[in-house]
Amino acid sequence: MADGRTDEDGLMNDFIAGMFGSMSEFAQPFISESIWTEAVADIIARGGRTRDGFQVFNPQDTAGDKAYKIMGHLVEAQMPFSLNQLKRLDQSIESVDVLQKGKIDKFGQTYEFGDEFAGLFGFRSVAVNPDRTLKFKVANYQRGVRESRQLFTREALRGGPIDPSEIVDSYLNANRALFNVRKDFKLDLDAANTLGISQSGLRNSTDRLSNVEVASVVNNLFRPINISPEIQQAFAENAAKIGEANPFLTAQSALANLQLAMSRISLLDPEFPVFENPLLPIMQDTPATPTTLNLPSIDANIVNNPNAAGSYSNLTTEQKLRILFPTG
């Protein structure tokens, strides 16, 4: 903090840097300073998320709150004998209720004493729970679907003049992203089945999705983006505001044909197929070949004279060309 008086870097920044430095020294008996510093930098670089996607702090938090949550998370996650470990150990012994009452935690999980005691020394055994994990995968899938759709709506409905070919380009780009999202979710469902998820567990974990959506992914069918009547109306209203013709009407036929073609795509395909935008002009790949070279005519008298080669053998190439092509 004293350095902040001279380097004009701001009191809060120096205070937070000092706290991280002191905490790294406090953690020395358990982890190295480099591991601590790397973990802090990793969370900050990821916008408040860990490598596993856990949200440590909200990017809109104050600097002090961010520092508090980062240190709290690292102390809990990296130091042995953390409070959560002791709570789990407490819950594994039903007759002991010192830190945590009951045998079931707030997430409905139960713990065994042997596994939790071994966890104090870094050997904790964790039972696989595909039902619970799949719920997080479903949430990620829904977010991916929303973000893919936004690639179309954000670009196509930006409000200004837009060419029909740009609408088709946005639709292609959005479905390309959606294909990857659905393909990843298919892998998640396959992994859950490999881990032995029950049919009832699968239904409960995917209850936020429609039966049609789940069935299509299970059967490796790609469902392209459907342009709703509300979106079509928005195109018409935006065009009317700026006094332009509705570009969606021009693109509608091309979009329908693309949607039909995309509905035949399999999620087993290694990547999204290449679709041409039918509203873009066709480029000529083959250059035009001239039919004539337009060269000057050859002097026939010289060509037909058998003694021409001997009489002109001492001439230079330039002189020979002038004789062959007298007209230039």
Q: How wide is the angle at C-alpha 291 spanned by C-alphas 288 and 292, nearest 5°?
A: 125
Q: Shortest CA distance to 144 belongs to which of 209, 93, 204, 48?
A: 209
Q: Residue 74 in contact with residue 57, Cβ under 8 Å?
A: no
Q: Pick out the chain residues at pLDDT < 50.
A: 29-33, 96, 98-99, 113-114, 117, 121, 123
Distance CA 264, CA 223 (A): 9
Nearest to 216 by CA among 264, 274, 151, 258: 264
Closest CA to 63 of 2, 6, 20, 23: 20
Q: Where are the beta strands (DSSP E) in the chain?
A: none
Cα 228 to chain centroid distance, Å, stands at 24
User: Positive or negative, the Cα torsion across 53, 59, 62, 63?
Assistant: positive
Q: Is the dihedral of CA 175, 177, 179, 182 positive or negative?
A: negative
pLDDT of residue 29: 44
- pLDDT digits over 108-122, tens only? 565 554 455 455 545
Q: Tell me which residue of 76, 95, 78 sits closest to 86, measured CA to CA.
A: 76
Q: What does the block give as tokens for 145?
A: 């679907």
Q: Are 39 and 32 spatial neighbours (Cβ–Cβ below 8 Å)?
A: no
Whether 33 and 23 have beta carbons less than 8 Å apart is answered as: no
The model's pTM: 0.55
How far is Cα 155 from Cα 162, in angstroms, rounded to an integer? 9
The Cα 282–Cα 20 span in angstroms is 60
Q: Per-residue pLDDT tens for 222-280?
A: 999 999 999 999 999 999 999 999 999 999 999 999 999 999 999 999 999 999 999 98
| Residue 159: per-residue pLDDT | 82
Q: What is the pLDDT of residue 219?
A: 95
Phi first, then psi, for residue 55 (nearest 5°) are: -85, 110
